[in-house]
Structure formats: C-alpha cells, structure tokens
Amino acid sequence: MAIRKILVPVDGSEAARTALKTALIVGRAQGAHVEALHVKLSAADAVPLIGEGMSGAFAEELMELTRREADLRAVAARQTFDQCRGELDVPRAEAPIHGEVTTAFIETIGREDDETAHRGRLADLIVVARPSTGSDVTADLTLNAALYESGRPVLVAPAELRPVIGRRIAVAWNDSAEAARALAGAIPLLTTADQVWVVTADGGGDGEASCRDAVAYLGYHGVAAETRVVLGARAVGDALLDGCAEADLVVMGAYTHSRLRELILGGTTRYMLEESTLPLLMAH
C-alpha cells in the first residue's frame, strides 16, 4: 500500500518542528497528504484532582493557568506549522490532491497520546518527535500510543533534521513479528530507495538464512537489497548502529521483548531511540 496520508502531532516545540519537517519531506517523496495535529489539553484533564482537598478558588486559578498555557501552545503550534509549510513550500489543502504533497492543520481538545492513536489508525504513517531526557512525559506517551494502539508504522524523527530520508535504508531484521510489521509498513519507501541493506546481528546459521529470506521477499516487491551481518562481542545495539551507519533511515521492530523488560533491563529499542541519530521507522 502506498503512503498517501501522514499524521504528525505538533505542539510548537523544536522537536515537533523537526518531526513536522520530517513528515513533509517524506510526504513530498511519496506524494502524500500531511495532517499536522495539535491537541489542546483541557483544563479538566490537566487538573484531575479538582475538588479533592483543593479549595475552589485555587482550583479555578489552576484551571485558568492551564487554559492560558494551552492557548499559548496552540499559537506556537500554528506558527510552527505555517513556518515549516512555508520553508518547504508545501501547499495547504483540506482534501488530498493525488500524487502531490499537501498539508493541513487540525486542532482538537483532549490528550495528545489518545488523539494520535485514534486518528493514526486512518493514516498510512505516523511521524512523532523522538523523546529525550529534556522532553516532557507527553512525548513518551505519544510514541507508545502510536506504536501500541494505532496499528500503523511510526517514523520517529531525530533531534536534528535530515534533509534526505529514504534513499539509503537499513532494515534491522531479527525474524520477529514486530520486524515483519515494520518491513511491511516500509515497503513504499523501500521500493523508491537507491540502496537497501537487510542487517542482522545474529551471526548464526538461522540468523543469516532468515536475513537472506527477507532479501528474497523484498525482491518480489522489486527491491534489490543486500544482506549485512554484524558480529562481535558488542551489544546488539552497538552492532546495529555500526551496520546502519551508511543509511539515512532505519526500519526495525519495536519492543520485540516486553516493554517492562526493556524498561528494567534495557533493550535494543531503547538503545536505538537513545543513541541513534537516524530516523527510525518502527512497528510493534
């Protein structure tokens, strides 16, 4: 299936600016419509404990502060949208124009993670900002909701914009269901890439054989890919970073182990999110 509709949440932050530009760059390459979604947090959601040990005057003051901050974020999000659209010369359109990149700004009220998952189910790709140590909890919630609740591939934008995305693609392959979903979601990008590698950190016979099977599968879609096996005593994350260093996009399954295990013990998904400077196309 072609990528014809892309959803990207925006909140006016620098991370959201990079995510929106990333979505517009991919949208131009795919001839897709990009929906920039801003979700205003309602005062009721922001202050859930009103009435429980809180005076009426203080509660009202807190709600008013929340409303003012939400209004300021909405203005910043709209300015970010207008600036990015103008810089990349992308026309606005409420309805898509087949084969051409277009964009629209949508504002709603609720929780960003809930709205992203809900609206993302009717998008071909969701683009989100990469969570960082300096970002608020919303970024993590939105990424997890997109991965776990939308059923769609998710492109995690790096902190610094990549002007070219999808010409040289590395597919991190471990024969998991999550990797298979990511691979399927990336087919529209893989078919237009100049170079594709299927990278595995499993040097055993099964790992290399599965990697060759993935290359053969891509051949049915007209994608001429190469296998790349990264070995050594290094952790899987380090090996994958080296194996994907020449790419401008990495395709990989997300949380092939349980999310709780990765939070406690660490894992490849977390490592790539924290250490890679490349866009990551993920699926769970």
Q: What is the DSSP letter of 130?
A: P
Sign for the pseudo-dihedral over CA of 239, 245, 247, 253: positive
Of 238, 240, 221, the closest CA to residue 229 belongs to: 240
pLDDT value of residue 265:
43
pLDDT band at 231 (very low <50, low <70, confident <90, very high): confident
- Whole-angstrom distance, CA of residue 77 vs CA of residue 222: 40
pTM: 0.92
- Whole-angstrom distance, CA of residue 42 vs CA of residue 40: 6
Tokens of 196: 């594709």
pLDDT band at 136 (very low <50, low <70, confident <90, very high): confident
Placement of tokens 């100049």 in the chain: 194
pLDDT band at 262 (very low <50, low <70, confident <90, very high): low
pLDDT band at 15 (very low <50, low <70, confident <90, very high): very high
Q: What is the mean pLDDT of residues 258-271?
A: 65
245, pLDDT greater than 60: yes
- Whole-angstrom distance, CA of residue 118 vs CA of residue 111: 11
- Please give the C-alpha separations between residue 80 and each of 15, 19, 51, 111, in angstroms, as whole numbers: 11, 11, 36, 20
User: Is the distance from CB of 183 to CB of 171 less than 8 angstroms?
Assistant: yes
pLDDT value of residue 184:
97
The region of weakest confidence among 117-121, 127-131, 233-237 is 233-237
pLDDT value of residue 234:
61
Task: For 144-188, write each residue's pLDDT tens digit.
Answer: 999 999 999 999 999 999 999 999 999 999 999 999 999 999 999
User: Which domains are delineated in the chain?
Assistant: 5-157 (3.40.50.620), 168-283 (3.40.50.620)
Q: What is the mean pLDDT of residues 103-117?
A: 96
Strand 125-129 versus strand 5-9 pairing type = parallel
